[in-house]
Amino acid sequence: MANHAAVNLEKDWIVLFDGVCNLCSASVQFIVRHDRLKRFRFVPIQSEDGQELYSTFGLNPAEMPSLMLLKNGQAYLMSDAAIEITRSFSFFWKPLLVCKLIPRRIRNGVYSFIARNRYRWFGRNDVCRLE
């Protein structure tokens, strides 16, 4: 990968996110504030590295969801990514893990509804603030 040398997909925890979405950028900032052990690395999906990571997992970058987590060699998408990220937070946030009990189809339906409307509701930037 061009800008993220020495990425170890078996070890690194990588959050791929929509770099121009205000909601997604705010979510990244939230993760950074709660990542006590500084485990996560962040890559905008629109970047060359983000596109390459998507392809590595057999996904079509043109059909990207707004969030993907690569952890221990496994890809988590949509609500599964959000839940898996929450696992690393302090005890205070653990009650949110009960969302895992909601069927994935329902969780992802709500996630997709928000994702489809995220630019309209939260706006977007012309460029990613993390690049």
Q: What is the pLDDT of residues 31-42, one digit of tens each?
A: 999 888 888 999
How many angstroms separate the CA atoms of 6 and 66, rounded? 24
Terminal CA-CA length for the chain: 15
Q: What distance in Å separates the CA atoms of residue 49 and residue 93, rounded to the nearest whole number?
A: 30
List the domain boundaries for the chain. 13-122
For residues 37 and 31, the answer to whether their CB atoms sit within 8 Å is no
pLDDT at residue 76 in the model: 92
Confidence (pLDDT) at 2: 45
Specify the residue for token string 């893990």: 97
What number of residues does the chain have? 131
Q: What is the pLDDT of residue 65?
A: 66
- Check if the beta carbon of residue 18 is closer than 8 Å to that of residue 44: yes
Phi (first) and psi of residue 118, to 5 degrees: -60, -40
* Beta carbons of 63 and 18 less than 8 angstroms apart: no
Q: How confident is the model at residue 25 (pLDDT cuts 50, 70, 90)?
A: confident
pLDDT at 7: 62
**Whole-model pTM?**
0.81
**Mean pLDDT, to the nearest integer, of 5-27?**
79
Interval 51-94: pLDDT, tens: 888 888 877 767 766 788 999 888 898 889 988 998 887 776 77
d(CA 122, CA 124): 7
CB 75 within 8 A of CB 85: no
Structure tokens at 69: 């987590």
